[in-house]
């Protein structure tokens, strides 16, 4: 059975948090029960911390169906991502297989260039995905508008603008996005900005085993994700591992969101780095091994050693589980505390400027910090896990507020990180207040390379 074409709605089940799976016929009832039990065991660690949340009523999940004017060969869920200094990966899905080609050019309706790639699919229990396409195009000119079509389908034309090759550059930053009315509001606010690249520190679709929600999420974000590169890392909601029944983690995430890990010397799609304009961005995996003898640790050590601060004066790191957090939610988790213990020294020694995290469904900005103390040569830690997920907000904070926590608020929103030059960047957090996007927190940041005290 190809469930990619099945868009029926199913019941949500809640056991401290939302559990979603599909039971497609009466004979599947036992399997459904086993899935629920396996899911609970798989995420038993999360249950301990979910009760810390004091959330408002959750927002309903949006279901974004396939448009009636599209057929089985029409490209959908189109999104793009950076590959190297002058290439772009175009990813999309169709129901029926079509040529894995992208035609593109700088004039609307005229395509002077073409590139070919690969097509794949995956199975997850009773679900079979659509055809997933992966095509890398380029070389491309910087700061240039390109028009493209996928699979030689003339019905749909898309466009994107390449980022600049030199500063300034602007990033939109949003975590724990999901697909609710709040998500829709967040995406609309981001669409009103002039950002060049989207950074997302994990928890994308909140499919949580319900694979068609990955398709719905892809359709929801397509208007933005097809126009600007989305660079993402994984969160706990991407794991989707079920003991015995489905033993492989990150099946859908890896199949659908191929990031440029190969180009950065990584052996895993769960951690990688890339450079754009004057910024070196590192995406780390909070839910894969990070101890000092791990492949990820060794890769990070080598990657930081290769950074040329003359070429990329700024270093930005994204993780999912925050290393610094004064919210009562997600305290004491190994993915936060253990990873911090293993890797914080590497980031401090490399003079990383900013660390963005998600996971906690609220906003918080810390001072420059290292080893739990204010340190002018440490990175600024910012939690931005407030994109619009269905679970709601984490509104309870530790009292009194730690001195290193400079601003915290449980509201949905997104951030904008504008790297102006080699020495200064402007950070803004935009709160979602109904239909208005309110700038609630703003601060100018100075790079470590411009601070003689840090001796970069």
Q: Judge contact between 338 and 303, C-beta under 8 A.
A: no
Domains of the chain as residue ranges with CATH:
73-162 (2.60.40.380), 165-450 (3.60.21.10)
User: In sequence order, what E strands does 284-379 have?
Assistant: 314-318, 354-357, 363-370, 373-374
Query: Is there a cis peptide before residue 437, judged by omega within 30 degrees of 0?
Result: no
Residue 53's pLDDT is 44
Burial category of 194 from C-beta neighbours within 10 Å (exposed 0-12, middle 13-18, buried 19 and up): exposed
**Average pLDDT over every residue of 319-333:** 97
Burial category of 155 from C-beta neighbours within 10 Å (exposed 0-12, middle 13-18, buried 19 and up): exposed
Name the pairing type of β-strands 158-161 and 145-150.
antiparallel
Q: Which two tokens stand for residue 319?
A: 């993780």
pLDDT in tens, 104-114: 999 999 999 99
- Measure the N-to-C terminal CA separation of the chain; round to a whole number of Å: 58
* Residue 170 φ/ψ, nearest 5 degrees: -125, 130
Q: Which two tokens stand for residue 73?
A: 């060969």
Dihedral, CA atoms, 142, 174, 336, 248, nearest 10 degrees?
Answer: -80
Residues shown for the chain? 456
pLDDT in tens, 184-212: 999 999 998 899 999 999 999 999 999 99
DSSP letters, 192-257, are TS--SEEEEES--S--TT-THHHHHHHHHHHHHHTTS-EEEE--GGG---BTTTB--SSHHHHHH-
pLDDT in tens, 359-408: 999 999 999 999 999 999 999 999 999 999 988 899 999 999 999 999 99
Residue 65's pLDDT is 78
- From residue 249, alpha-carbon distances to 218, 287, 417 in Å are 20, 10, 31
Picking from 224, 20, 2, 246, the residue whose alpha carbon sits closest to that of residue 129 is 2
The answer, yes or no, to whether residue 21 has pLDDT greater than 60, is no
Q: Judge contact between 151 and 101, C-beta under 8 A.
A: yes
The span from the CA of 261 to the CA of 268, in Å, is: 6
The span from the CA of 219 to the CA of 164, in Å, is: 27
Q: Judge contact between 231 and 195, C-beta under 8 A.
A: no
Question: Per-residue confidence at 57, pLDDT binned at 50, 70, 90?
Answer: low
DSSP letters, 378-435, are SPEEEEE--S--TT-----B-SSPPTTEEEEE---EEEEEEE-SSSEEEEEEEEEETT
Residue 432's pLDDT is 87
Is 330 in the active site? yes
Query: Which residue in 320, 330, 351, 381 is the catalytic one?
Result: 330
244: left (phi over 0), alpha (psi -120 to 50) or beta: left
Question: Per-residue confidence at 58, pLDDT binned at 50, 70, 90?
Answer: low
Residue 64's pLDDT is 79
Q: Which two tokens stand for residue 132?
A: 């997933």
Q: Judge contact between 210 and 21, C-beta under 8 A.
A: yes
Residue 66's pLDDT is 77
Dihedral, CA atoms, 47, 49, 52, 53, nearest 10 degrees?
Answer: -70
Dihedral, CA atoms, 317, 322, 326, 332, nearest 10 degrees?
Answer: -150
The span from the CA of 179 to the CA of 217, in Å, is: 6
Strands laid side by side in the 87-94 sheet:
76-83, 87-94, 131-137, 118-120
Tell me how many degrees the CA angle 55-232-389 measures, rounded to the nearest 5: 15
Query: Is there a cis peptide before residue 168, judged by omega within 30 degrees of 0?
Result: yes
Q: Which two tokens stand for residue 243?
A: 């003991």
pLDDT in tens, 76-123: 999 999 999 999 999 999 999 999 999 999 999 999 999 999 999 999
pLDDT in tens, 145-185: 999 999 977 789 999 999 999 999 999 999 999 999 999 99
The answer, yes or no, to whether residue 23 has pLDDT greater than 90, is no
Strands laid side by side in the 424-433 sheet:
230-233, 197-201, 169-173, 413-419, 424-433, 436-446
The answer, yes or no, to whether residue 293 has pLDDT greater than 60, is yes
The answer, yes or no, to whether residue 351 has pLDDT greater than 80, is yes
- Give the relative orientation of helices 334-349 and 295-305 as an angle to the nearest 10 degrees: 30
The answer, yes or no, to whether residue 18 has pLDDT greater than 60, is no
């Amino acid at each position: 059975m190809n469930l990619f074409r099945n868009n029926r709605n199913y019941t949500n089940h809640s056991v401290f948090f939302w559990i979603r799976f599909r039971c497609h016929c009466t004979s599947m009832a036992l399997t459904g029960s086993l899935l629920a039990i396996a899911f609970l065991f798989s995420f038993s660690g999360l249950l301990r911390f979910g009760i810390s949340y004091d959330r408002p009523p959750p927002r309903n999940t949006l279901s974004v169906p396939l448009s009636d004017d599209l057929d089985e060969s029409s490209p959908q869920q189109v999104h793009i991502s950076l590959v190297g200094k002058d290439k772009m990966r175009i990813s999309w899905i169709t129901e029926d297989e079509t040529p894995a080609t992208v035609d593109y050019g700088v004039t609307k309706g005229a395509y002077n260039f073409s590139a070919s790639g690969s097509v794949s699919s995956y199975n997850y229990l009773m679900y079979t995905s659509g055809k997933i396409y992966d095509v890398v195009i380029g070389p491309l000119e910087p700061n240039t508008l390109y028009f493209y079509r996928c699979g030689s389908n003339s019905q749909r034309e898309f466009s994107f603008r390449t980022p600049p090759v030199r500063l300034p550059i602007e990033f939109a930053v949003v975590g724990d996005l999901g697909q609710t009315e709040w998500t829709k509001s967040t995406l609309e606010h981001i669409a009103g900005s002039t950002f060049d690249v989207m950074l997302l520190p994990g928890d994308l679709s909140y499919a949580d085993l319900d694979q068609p929600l990955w398709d719905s999420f892809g359709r929801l974000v397509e208007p933005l994700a097809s126009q600007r590169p989305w660079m993402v890392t994984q969160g706990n909601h991407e794991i989707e591992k079920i003991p015995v029944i489905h033993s492989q983690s990150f099946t859908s995430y890896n199949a659908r969101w191929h990031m440029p890990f190969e180009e950065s010397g990584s052996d895993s799609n769960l951690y990688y780095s890339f450079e754009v304009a004057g910024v070196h961005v590192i995406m780390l995996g909070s839910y894969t091994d990070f101890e000092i003898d791990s492949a990820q640790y060794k890769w990070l050590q080598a990657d930081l050693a290769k950074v040329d601060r003359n070429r990329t004066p700024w270093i930005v790191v994204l993780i999912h589980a925050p290393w610094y957090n004064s919210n009562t939610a997600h305290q004491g988790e190994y993915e936060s505390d253990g990873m911090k213990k293993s890797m914080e020294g590497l980031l401090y020694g490399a003079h990383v400027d900013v660390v963005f995290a998600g996971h906690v469904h609220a906003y918080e900005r810390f001072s420059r910090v290292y080893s739990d103390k204010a340190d002018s040569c440490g990175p600024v830690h910012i939690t931005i896990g407030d994109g619009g997920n269905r679970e709601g907000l984490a509104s309870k904070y530790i009292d009194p507020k730690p001195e290193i926590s400079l601003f915290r608020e449980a509201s949905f929103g997104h951030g904008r990180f504008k790297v102006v030059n080699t020495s200064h960047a402007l950070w803004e957090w935009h709160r979602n207040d109904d239909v208005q996007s309110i700038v609630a927190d703003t601060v100018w940041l100075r790079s470590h390379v411009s601070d003689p005290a840090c001796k970069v």
